[in-house]
Amino acid sequence: MRWKQFLADIAGQNCSNCAQEAKRAERKAAELEGATFKPDLSSTRGYNEVAVVHPTVSFHHPGLYMASLRERQARRHEQAALARQDREREELWECTFRPRTRSLPSYILKRARSVAAKEVDLSHTRAALEVKPQWL
């Protein structure tokens, strides 16, 4: 109410700052239009209502609580593993040394395969030689 009266008083005067002051006063009045300055601290609506609280432990079904505990622990372990992997990945990213390896020459690969094949054949013959007849 006082702002409206102030606006009316300013409108009647002629001054250089009157237009700016009028605009400022209008903005201020628009901001305070819905203000009541009386807080509603204790409303009667919802005063006697109690929030529903579900207990985590049920004496009738203790297995449910243990299952939820196991699920929480599993989630924590997964999160810890992911965090550990992220840390390792960041540490490795900081490493600048990346060795360049060459593949072995073909003649060495052939020789290694032949030695491995002979070893497999020998193991079969050794196993065959160690088998004894049942009547002995």
**Domain residue extents for the chain:** 2-31
- Report the alpha-carbon distance of residue 54 to residue 51 in Å, rounded: 10
Residues 6+ apart with CB under 8 A from 18: 10, 11
- Report the alpha-carbon distance of residue 7 to residue 76 in Å, rounded: 64
Cα–Cα distances in angstroms (integers) from residue 97 to residues 86, 89, 93, in the given order: 20, 15, 10
Q: What is the pTM of this model?
A: 0.32
Q: Which helix (H) or strand (E) holds 74?
A: helix 62-94
More confident residue, 46 or 114: 114
Q: What is the pLDDT of residues 43-60, one digit of tens each?
A: 555 556 666 666 667 777
Q: What is the pLDDT of residues 60-87, one digit of tens each?
A: 787 888 888 899 999 999 999 999 999 9
Mean pLDDT of 90-96: 84
Neighbours of 21 (CB within 10 A): 14
